[in-house]
């Protein structure tokens, strides 16, 4: 393999092959590859995930996809529980990734110099230690979500079994407007044993070992929390836009009876249109960022994970959005939220606040902006590690 022979460093990129995770990892890998042409990347994910992220066998220059086994037993049939394939994958993943990396090294003839991983793959920190190479992680959600996962023990110490969901998180700096109810599942409540919750629980131990953490956000957004993360970890780097624009394989077929997906509604572009007055969203981190860069206040109907935390942060800390009253789409709750945002003084203030944040977000990606400078630093660390 020509590219490998001439490369200065070989980076193994380890993907979490579920949901929207592999695409932002590939996007940041592409940016790194463009910025540092002497690096070569082996991108390891399951066959199914690689088929989506590298459609039609597309090879990206100096990024070579490799398949790892999905861990599913022979004859496995999906019965509708989304946790099941994740559980199988994670059980087999440490050994699978090791085996796959042996294949990568044998096929390319180039030893691995660094691991770049989805932060969900906590066990890969041990693989990096075994290989004696740096471990770098991509965090695809917001800084506040990372903060609660790396401070889980501290939060558990402060929330007793008799505390209510309304207990304020005032024992964490800049979290006093949030309460226990806004925490993601698995921190003090919910299904601790579910596979994703169990892996998030490991972040507290592994994140401090990262040589660098690349995060999909902007430096000025949630600045106080970003500064707390920076003071705790080496090279916590907000590198801006890293998201995915492709839908998972089979998504259109699976959802055809539930909704309509059209190719002419790219969310980011729609949110940039001056006619859009409000964005009704589930509160995924990318949607929050895209609403900010569109300057559009949000109405939230969160479902799981970090979405409740994002909702309350936008509503109570940043002040440019609202959660639906009762947390559900009822006629009353929806009309009330629309009225506040579209035709009240409070809504006007929200638009003013989000306009300020929009400007800061664009500033971050200007030449010499913070995301650009942070990305340069990431390239430098990777190239010299």
Please identify which residue in 305, 321, 323, 347 interacts with ligand UPG, judged by CB under 6 A: 305
Dihedral sign, Cα of residue 215, residue 16, residue 97, residue 111? negative
Assess 266 for contact with ligand UPG (CB under 6 A): yes
Closest contact distance (angstroms) between CB of 77 and ligand UPG is 25
Task: Give the interface size with ligand UPG as a residue count (CB under 6 A).
Answer: 17
Assess 307 for contact with ligand UPG (CB under 6 A): yes
Closest contact distance (angstroms) between CB of 39 and ligand UPG is 25
Nearer to ligand UPG, 54 or 285 (CB): 285
118 is catalytic: yes
Q: Which of 8, 56, 71, 79 is nearest to 246 (CA)?
A: 56
Judge contact between 115 and 127, C-beta under 8 A. Answer: yes
Please identify which residue in 42, 152, 287, 371 interacts with ligand UPG, judged by CB under 6 A: 287
Assess 118 for contact with ligand UPG (CB under 6 A): no
- Of residues 344-363, those binding ligand UPG (CB under 6 A): none
**Contact stretch for ligand UPG (CB under 6 A) within 83-91, 160-168, 299-307, 332-340:** 299-307
Q: How far is Cα 172 from Cα 165, in angstroms, rounded to an integer?
A: 16
Closest contact distance (angstroms) between CB of 333 and ligand UPG is 21
Closest contact distance (angstroms) between CB of 116 and ligand UPG is 17
Contacts of 250 (CB under 8 A, 6+ apart): none
State which H helix or E strand residue 237 sits in: strand 236-238
State the DSSP code for 198: H
SS3 167: coil
Which residue is it, tokens 């099941």? 84
Assess 197 for contact with ligand UPG (CB under 6 A): no
Nearer to ligand UPG, 68 or 288 (CB): 288
Please identify which residue in 26, 115, 125, 141 interacts with ligand UPG, judged by CB under 6 A: 141
**Contact stretch for ligand UPG (CB under 6 A) within 53-61, 172-180, 285-293, 316-324:** 285-293
Closest contact distance (angstroms) between CB of 90 and ligand UPG is 17
Q: How far is CA 188 from CA 57, 173, 178, 284, 363, in A?
A: 43, 18, 14, 21, 37
Return the number of other C-beta atoms located less than 10 Å from residue 377's C-beta: 15
Q: How far is Cα 109 from Cα 103, in angstroms, rounded to an integer?
A: 10
Torsions phi, psi for 117 (to 5 deg): -130, 160
Assess 285 for contact with ligand UPG (CB under 6 A): yes
**Contact stretch for ligand UPG (CB under 6 A) within 3-11, 207-215, 263-271, 320-328:** 263-271
201 is catalytic: no
Return the number of other C-beta atoms located less than 10 Å from residue 344's C-beta: 11
Dihedral, CA of residue 5, residue 6, residue 9 and residue 14, to nearest 10: -50
Residues marked active site are found at: 21, 118
- Residues of this chain that interact with ligand UPG (CB under 6 A) are 19-20, 140-141, 243, 265-268, 284-287, 290, 305-307
């Amino acid at each position: 393999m020509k590219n490998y022979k001439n490369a200065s460093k070989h980076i193994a990129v380890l993907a979490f092959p579920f949901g929207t995770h592999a695409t932002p990892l590939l996007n940041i890998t592409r940016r790194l590859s463009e910025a540092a042409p002497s690096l070569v990347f082996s991108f390891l994910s399951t066959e199914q995930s690689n088929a989506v992220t590298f459609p039609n066998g597309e090879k990206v220059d100096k990024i070579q996809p490799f398949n790892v086994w999905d861990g599913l037993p022979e004859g496995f049939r999906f019965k509708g529980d989304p946790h099941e394939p994740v559980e199988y994958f994670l059980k087999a993943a440490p050994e699978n990734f090791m085996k796959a990396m042996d294949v990568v090294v044998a096929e390319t003839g180039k030893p691995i110099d660094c691991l770049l991983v989805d932060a969900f793959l906590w066990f890969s920190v041990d693989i990096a230690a075994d290989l004696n190479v740096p471990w770098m992680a991509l965090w695809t959600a917001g800084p506040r979500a990372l903060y609660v996962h790396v401070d889980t023990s501290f939060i558990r110490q402060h929330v007793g079994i008799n505390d209510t969901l309304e207990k304020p998180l005032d024992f964490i700096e800049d979290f006093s407007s949030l309460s226990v109810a806004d925490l993601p599942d698995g921190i003090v409540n919910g299904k601790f044993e579910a596979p994703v919750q169990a892996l998030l629980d490991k972040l507290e131990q592994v994140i401090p070992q990262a040589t660098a953490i690349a995060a999909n956000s902007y430096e000025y957004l949630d600045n106080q929390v970003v500064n707390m993360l920076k003071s705790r970890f080496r090279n916590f780097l907000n590198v801006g836009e890293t998201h995915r624009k492709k839908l998972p394989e089979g998504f259109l077929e699976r959802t055809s009876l539930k909704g309509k997906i059209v190719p002419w509604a790219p969310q980011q572009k729609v949110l940039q249109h001056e006619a859009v007055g409000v964005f009704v969203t589930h509160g995924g981190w990318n949607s929050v960022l895209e609403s900010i860069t569109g300057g559009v206040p949000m109405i939230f109907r969160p479902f799981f994970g970090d979405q409740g935390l994002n909702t309350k942060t936008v509503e109570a800390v940043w002040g440019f959005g609202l959660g639906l009253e009762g947390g559900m789409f009822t006629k009353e709750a929806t009309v009330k939220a629309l009225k506040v945002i579209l035709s009240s003084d409070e809504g006007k203030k929200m638009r003013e606040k989000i306009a300020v944040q929009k400007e800061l977000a664009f500033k971050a990606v200007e030449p010499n902006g913070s995301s650009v400078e942070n990305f340069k630093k990431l390239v430098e660390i990777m190239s010299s590690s």
